[in-house]
Every structure is written in structure tokens, then in C-alpha cells.
Amino acid sequence: MIELTKERQDLETSEKTLKDFGIKPLKNYLVEEGKLIQVRTVNSKTFSYIFLDNDGKDWFMGKMPDSTYRRVKRESVEYIFFLDFSAVLNPED
């Protein structure tokens, strides 16, 4: 029981820290090219990349830190996190 409580406290602290740093999760978004973002998918995979292009209406294309490219299906993205709010062109949340 104590471990579960501690995990919950850590989760709440983590969420509070994200808000304190101005990181906002969005589901429906358009992002400017060249912005560093972190994406969390519906199957709980998280990765960061520099946003490059929508690569068609249903895909997001980005460049990973190791200089490889990654494409993510729009419907598989649960959240996007970013620090620069000017990166959002059309938030719908």
C-alpha cells in the first residue's frame, strides 16, 4: 500500500512539474516545422523528434536525435508535449 501511494505521489509531482514548466499535452494540433516535440502514442511509446512535415493528412514525419527519420500515424498519437507554445498553430483542445 505504501508503494502504491508513493507511486501516486510521484505521478502527481511529475504532472505538477510538467504544468510548472509550461508543458501542455494536446491531442488535436498542428505544429510548425523544426520544433522539438515529444510524442506519446496510445500504446505508451514515448519519443522525441524535430517535427518536419505532416507527410500526408494521416501521418507525422520527424527527425530523431540520431539523425534517422520517423513517421507516426496521427491516430496513434495520444499526446504531444512541447515547451514553446508558439509552436501551436491551431490547438483544438
- Per-residue pLDDT of 10-61, as tens digits, reads 444 444 444 454 444 444 555 667 777 777 777 777 777 777 776 666 777 7
pTM above 0.85, yes or no: no
CATH of residue 61's domain is: 2.30.30.520
- Per-residue pLDDT of 70-92, as tens digits, reads 887 877 777 777 655 454 445 55
Question: Is 33 inside any structural domain?
Answer: yes
Question: Is 8 inside any structural domain?
Answer: no
**What range defines the domain where residue 35 resides?**
23-87
For residue 31, how far is the Cα from the chain centroid?
Answer: 11
> How many separate domains does the chain show?
1
Q: Is 4 left (phi over 0), alpha (psi -120 to 50) or beta?
A: alpha
- Which amino acid is residue 86, in one-letter code? S
Question: Is 72 inside any structural domain?
Answer: yes
